Amino acid sequence: MINIVLVNPEIPNNTGNIVRTCAATGAKLHIIEPCGFSWEDKYLKRSGLDYWDISDVRRYADVQTFLSANFADKADCDQNVAKAIKNTKLNSRQQFFFASTKSDHNHTDVKYDEDCWVFFGRETRGLDEELLHENYGDCVRIPMRAQARSLNLANSVAIIIYEYHRQHAYKGLKEVGALTKY
């Protein structure tokens, strides 16, 4: 299954929409705080609709807590995000990707393993450049026009999740709909 990791998201509507997308696709959502909103925010709740009960959302106080919870053998990783992720990667068989407009790899040019992790940064700044530099070979970009700075975070997460599912033949997803009146 794909694991989506949001690092310090800032906009409640985006996070709520991502919760809904993850719930609809079976993706696990990991949120590393601090966030730019309260978890009681009405926009967060509204955009997540009634999908909160079927979503797998995990919150972490910081990067170290995230690493300790998901990669117990690396609980003593350096506090520096870039080094912690890099050290975890070197000692893990799991696949890590970092979504960024600064990458030169297209998100469709990589093969997503069944169990992979894709990191997304905050809406206003993205992921820290040190993290991107330390992991540049694993950074992926969604193509867009040169005049645009970036895509909406919720849309970017959806694009990556559906590319993952396309590569895995939409395993576990309902592919056929039906009309309700006819």
In a domain, 105, yes or no: yes
In a domain, 86, yes or no: yes
Q: How confident is the model at residue 136 (pLDDT cuts 50, 70, 90)?
A: very high
In a domain, 60, yes or no: yes
| Cα–Cα nearest to 136, from 82, 88, 81 | 82
Sheet harboring 95-99: ordered strands across?
A: 56-60, 28-32, 2-7, 116-120, 95-99, 139-140
In a domain, 177, yes or no: no
Average pLDDT of 13-26? 94
SS3 (DSSP) at 149: coil
Number of domains observed in the structure of the chain: 1
| Cα–Cα nearest to 135, from 121, 155, 148 | 121
Report pLDDT digits (tens) over 147-167.
Answer: 999 999 999 999 999 999 999
Average pLDDT of 10-38? 93
Average pLDDT of 59-84? 71
- What domain range is 150 assigned to? 2-167
The domain that contains 82 carries what CATH number?
A: 3.40.1280.10
pLDDT at residue number 51: 79
Report pLDDT digits (tens) over 109-134.
Answer: 999 999 999 999 999 999 999 999 99
> Does the pLDDT value for residue 76 go beyond 90?
no
Q: Are the C-beta atoms of 102 and 129 separated by less than 8 Å?
A: yes
Q: Return the exposure string of 121-146: e unless at least 16 CB atoms fall within 10 Å of the residue's CB, then b.
A: bbbeebbbeebbebbeebbbbbeeee
SS3 (DSSP) at 46: helix
